Amino acid sequence: MGSRRDFVHKLTVSAVGLPVLGYSTSLENYLPTFNSAAQLRVAIMGLGGYGTRVANAMESCKRAKLVGVISGTPSKIKTWQSKYGIPEKNCYNYENFDKIKDNPDIDAVYVITPNGLHHDQVIRVARAGKHVICEKPMAINAAEGEEMVKACKDAGVNLLVGYRMHFEPRTLEVVNMRRNGEFGKIMFFQGLSGFTIGNPDQWRLDKKLAGGGAMMDIGIYSINGARYMVGEEPIWVTAQETKNDPVKFKEGVDETIQFQLGFPSGAVASCLSTYAMNYLDRFFLNGKDGFAEMQPSTGYGPIEGRTNKGPLTAPIVTHQTVQMDAMAGIILNGEKPPIPVDGEEGVKDLKIIDAIYEAVKINGRVIL
């Protein structure tokens, strides 16, 4: 791949800090544009399915470049080296990756490992002086998340969470309309997030590695979506768990949870998180003067939806390409994302997850 440092685009940001959404089919109209020729050199930690997806998406990045890997599986490292042209000196395993500190050719590590490992790994990366991008959930509870935020602050590195939807143009189209008051006073958000999970032996169904079940993996999209769609932080949580298959979904691994959120304005949210239903990916936002509905709302493919004013028309993009280019801008140039993606944002989601699990346990309302 040739260098892309020659790409320089004008920065177009609206008064509310959102990129101006050009409702045309031109990608250039939307994308956060570039005020620096620098490129973020990224190592990916964890070469599983999602790591591969990110690596492939980064092939099209203008400001981020995959340059290194961290994996416990030598054969995977070999494959990635030849596929993505990664030099031997940028390859690490889980024992020796603290040495990344001495590698001047890596700026940041994208941690894409099981949730339960994020805390220790992120702190190790921070202590190695590298910026961290951490897949969500950033940790398995808010206390862990806060330790990670502190460690990164202490080390003077950025900590970003893999919120790809925070850069997705159609999501931003809706958020922008909401911020501009086009739906009027927001009253209700509904998020349905789930799918039928397969192989019962995967880490996502292992309490220690996953930190929970569907909520940690897919329910978090409805939590995070409730926050950016409503535009407020919830003040209370209620939740109800249902477990139909206690063999597949062991103690501490949630199968299906319905949860509700209340916001300071009086808006409410009603959400579903499940590993036991076919692909369910729907957002609905209802305001006094309008509505938005998205389906799919957070899947990897094209986001589709409409508002009371018509279909969503912002460009369809590869989420991770846009995310990584935007995160490069945040890390390299201090650019402001349309919706926060820092560690504090990740902790906010985890506090809600903690509250949901607590609400299930006490079978009542948890005040945030």
Q: Could you list the residues that contact its own copies (CB under 8 A)?
A: 187-188, 190, 192, 196, 238, 240, 242, 244, 256, 258, 260, 262, 266, 268, 270, 272, 274, 276-278, 280, 282, 284, 286, 288-289, 291, 363-365
Return the biggest CA–CA distance within the chain. Answer: 58
CA dihedral 29, 35, 41, 42 (to 10 degrees): -50
Is residue 149 within 8 Å of 343, Cβ to Cβ?
A: yes
Residue 220 or 276: the one with the smaller Cβ distance to its own copies is: 276
Sort 320 into a burial class: Cβ within 10 Å, 0-12 / 13-18 / 19+.
Answer: buried
- Smallest distance from the beta carbon of 49 to its own copies, in angstroms? 24
Residue 172 or 276: the one with the smaller Cβ distance to its own copies is: 276
Q: Which of 221, 228, 275, 357 is catalytic?
A: 221
Residue 18 or 272: the one with the smaller Cβ distance to its own copies is: 272
What's 250's DSSP letter? -
Q: Which of 62, 65, 130, 136 is catalytic?
A: 136
The full length of the chain comes to 368
Residue 204 or 282: the one with the smaller Cβ distance to its own copies is: 282
- Smallest distance from the beta carbon of 203 to its own copies, in angstroms? 24
Residues 354-358: contacts with CB under 8 Å, at least 24 apart = 354/141, 354/142, 355/237, 356/215, 356/219, 356/223, 356/237, 356/239, 356/257, 356/259, 357/212, 357/215, 357/239, 357/254, 358/237
Six-digit token pair at 257? 């949870």
Q: Please indicate whether residue 361 is annotated as part of the active site.
A: no
Q: Are strands 256-262 and 236-242 parallel, antiparallel or unpaired?
A: antiparallel
State the Cα–Cα distance between residues 87 and 108, nearest whole angstrom.
16
SS3 304: coil
- Smallest distance from the beta carbon of 266 to its own copies, in angstroms? 4
- Smallest distance from the beta carbon of 214 to its own copies, in angstroms? 13
- Smallest distance from the beta carbon of 280 to its own copies, in angstroms? 6
Residue with tokens 């042209």: 85
SS3 272: strand
- Smallest distance from the beta carbon of 348 to its own copies, in angstroms? 21
- Smallest distance from the beta carbon of 253 to its own copies, in angstroms? 16
Residue 3 or 278: the one with the smaller Cβ distance to its own copies is: 278
Q: 219: closest CA among 236, 239, 244, 247?
A: 239
Residue 92 or 284: the one with the smaller Cβ distance to its own copies is: 284
Q: Are strands 268-274 and 256-262 parallel, antiparallel or unpaired?
A: antiparallel
Sort 29 into a burial class: Cβ within 10 Å, 0-12 / 13-18 / 19+.
Answer: middle
Q: Please indicate whether residue 248 is annotated as part of the active site.
A: no
**What is the residue type of 95?**
E
Residue 229 or 314: the one with the smaller Cβ distance to its own copies is: 229
Separation in Å, CA 233 to CA 70, 178, 227, 248, 356: 36, 15, 6, 33, 14
- Residues recognised as catalytic: 136, 221
